[in-house]
Chain A
């Protein structure tokens, strides 16, 4: 196996699509605008950002649910389409990610059922095994999704993703739809599974403290771009990019009083029409001359990269 290649490598990935609106054609949505990132084996990469930053689209592009319009996605050095490395995705809402009309064993083994060539008993045996590994009881596999709580449904979804022995799981807001006490159960399960199965995770979340807890590295996204990346604790404890700082100040916390957020910082620009220059310029508290130019992602110290000329001193236009 090619060990010097990262498990997942994205190079300048762009995702654009047209939405039709009304009778007169439509508008282009610039969902992902040149994202490069990598995930090593056994590593967790956190992808943080607010709604509309393109993080979910990026996740769907990684698993092939959304076509990319430019760039490349490689798995262990091979193109995604040709690779036999398995990636699976866990969706946010376990309520809607399970077909209400199928029993649990059939849901869990859906990837195998699609592949074909398994007998009913083989599927049931495999489902039992997987169900137990995510903390469900073997006899529960005959039941239907509506009989389970949100946390249990998410366990079922995780078991289903594990059915084909994936090496990478894309976790798209895996705990956001769950109650706080249940979130902890699912986080613990994900940590245990990662240790047992040497899984890699791409954890997409708006929850900064969750990412800080689970991820090794983090990429902060804004309007389809990575604005800051680095080791999770370093970035989230000492943000350098103005957007990362705004985001972290806004996170509700027991230790801090209510943040006073400038009103313009509370409105995300539209991804239908990209701003020129720095995408964050209009909301940025420290915008100065130079911000009207496109910004590049540049290393500052160690593994940290920041897309802001004020921080990096880099002002040359990108290629």
Chain B
């Protein structure tokens, strides 16, 4: 099983979190557990509002202090609790051990400075290198990203580059301090499919060759299935299902995962109605008791008024659904 490859880098255990708003507390996370081990590529999938970004931002302590409040559970990032670290220690962890890649590459680059200066600065912030050595390293990193003329790109300003090129620069920067973990939050959502395919294969190649673990956050099941060894399907701030990509895709256990895969137009006969998930997310101000997918679920019954625990249903997989748990117990 690929999940046993290494130490646990990130361990999110039963994390609950709420946002204070003028309408009341929005329960964004309701007991999420995610583990990431060294060297593996983990996908976190779900629709908007499922808590996929919030979970990772909370683990990195990047959420605004005033409005987000952790109400339960614990996070361990490289063995320490990020909530208890000092700002200095946190900076060290964020820079040297974890890097983040965001959706909008333009916002992550300083528009008034050349690409080269920014890459070199990031390298030198965390490594004792001369300017020339850092420059050589920057060129090497950009070349790894299949950028054909790295010297020319180093001289360019961010606005002179296409979105795909900017994202490649940012990935190079994320890998520059040789982190053990990279968190990529929808890094290809704003890009075209041909560019997306390129970026995905670059992330995969680089991660495998350096042994870096990647958490890939996405709304796109197909993207995650192509890239990741293991995945977590999130719904309403909980894990609905987790397991190896192959096993989840071959036979999705949770009704939500199944519906999510089936409602894609690629799998139905042309012009025929698509399978749809009726309704919308529950009201996260007052989430109903029990399974949060219950109101939209075809298989729901009276057991579902209690919260189903995330339970192993076969060696490679866990699901939070009473039906599957019963079937496993019966078998």
Residues of A in contact with B (beta carbons under 8 Å apart): 50-51, 149, 151, 179-185, 187-188, 191-192, 206-210, 212-214, 232-233, 246-247, 249-254, 256-261, 263-268
Contact = CB atoms under 8 A, between A and B. Distances in A.
Given A233-B270, A252-B222, A267-B162, A247 B193 contact: yes
Nearest to B47: A179
B146 A259 contact: no
26 contacts: A179-B47, A180-B219, A180-B221, A181-B276, A185-B276, A206-B192, A206-B193, A209-B266, A212-B270, A213-B270, A213-B274, A233-B270, A249-B197, A251-B193, A251-B222, A252-B225, A258-B200, A259-B197, A261-B201, A263-B147, A263-B148, A264-B148, A265-B198, A266-B194, A266-B195, A267-B165
B194 to A, nearest CB: 4
A51 B165 CA distance: 15
B117 to A, nearest CB: 22
A258 B162 contact: no
A209 B193 contact: no
Contacts of B91: none
A257 B249 CA distance: 13
B107 interface: no
B204 interface: yes
Nearest to B194: A250
Tell me the interface secondary structure of chain B in the complex.
helix
B297 interface: no
Given A247-B194, A267-B162, 12 more contacts: A50-B194, A181-B277, A184-B263, A184-B275, A213-B266, A250-B196, A250-B197, A252-B196, A252-B222, A254-B225, A261-B197, A268-B162
A184 B296 CA distance: 14
B164 interface: yes
Contacts of B268: 213
A51 B162 CA distance: 11
A259 B201 CA distance: 7
Interface in B256-304: 259-261, 263-266, 268, 270-271, 273-277, 280
A258 B276 CA distance: 27
B93 interface: no
Contact of B273 (A191, A246, A261): A191
B273 A188 contact: yes
A217 B195 CA distance: 26
A258 B226 contact: yes
Contact of B226 (A179, A183, A252, A266): A252
Contacts of A249: 197
B168 to A, nearest CB: 9
A226 to B, nearest CB: 18
B14 interface: no
A181 B265 contact: no
B136 interface: no
* Among B47, B148, B222, B264: residue with most chain A CB under 10 A: B264
